[in-house]
Amino acid sequence: MLSTNGEYQSLDIKETVLPVETNLETNDVVSETNFDHQTRFCGCYSDYMEMYAPVDQVAEYLNAHSSWFTRCAEPMKVQPLGENGYALIIGRFGSFGYEVEPKVGLELLPPEAGIYRIRTIPIPDYQAPGYDVDYRASMQLKEYPSDDAAISGQVTRVEWDLDLKVYLHFPRFIQRLPQSLIQSTGDRLLNQIVRQVSLRLTRKVQEDFHQSLGIPFPANSKKKR
């Protein structure tokens, strides 16, 4: 849901970096899996998407996430976890010859005082291999008069904030690289992943919401990518 130009691309992300002089041996990559060292990557994001309907209709749709979340999250693989939770496989990404395919549990909490929150939850019988994710998001609905001549009535703006932290336990061969290079590459990858997932999810949720209610959705909407 970030504001950015461009089309959604595959989530199979492999960062390209300049060659780095190291003393790595091929066997290091295969056999050394000491995950004692942990590196944190984090980002704070905010944006909004517009729904061309009154706030009560948008709230009703968001509250019934079991009917749309799995469908709109594609191509991510989604498995329901209880009443409000989902296990998501985000996609494969990596750098320096090291790849991960993160799987994260998210809980979409019922609104409190008009604020929707999403947080990470454990996935039963699953131990993340070499990473941890701390996902904390909040959404608010704000209603405005439509300024589009083609759309009458109210527009609801879904405004959201995301605080995301990812902790990676790198194998020893990655730990030998300069920490500044690891940090900058990881931060860039995290931003790229959030941007692509957000663009995709925003577009699909907007289209699904308007189609489900038979509401016209302007083709030139600045939040439709």
Q: 9 in a domain, yes or no?
A: no
What pLDDT score was predicted for residue 68?
94
Positive or negative, the CA dihedral 105, 163, 4, 6 is negative
What pLDDT score was predicted for residue 169?
80
Question: CATH code at 204?
Answer: 3.30.530.20
Cα distance between residue 53 and residue 155, in whole Å:
5
Q: What is the DSSP string of 152-196?
A: -SEEEEEEEEEEEEEEEE--HHHHTS-HHHHHHHHHHHHHHHHHH
Number of structural domains, the chain? Answer: 1
Q: 223 in a domain, yes or no?
A: no
Which residue shows structure tokens 């990881």?
186
Q: 28 in a domain, yes or no?
A: no
Q: 220 in a domain, yes or no?
A: no
What pLDDT score was predicted for residue 149?
60
Q: 143 in a domain, yes or no?
A: yes
pLDDT digits (tens, 9 = 90+) for 5-27: 333 333 333 443 333 333 333 33
Domain housing 125: 35-213
Q: 6 in a domain, yes or no?
A: no
Using DSSP's 3-state secondary structure scheme, residue 109 falls into: strand
Q: 218 in a domain, yes or no?
A: no
Q: 203 in a domain, yes or no?
A: yes
Q: Are 208 and 224 in contact (CB under 8 A)?
A: no
Q: Which residues of the chain have pLDDT under 70?
A: 1-37, 94-98, 148-152, 219-225
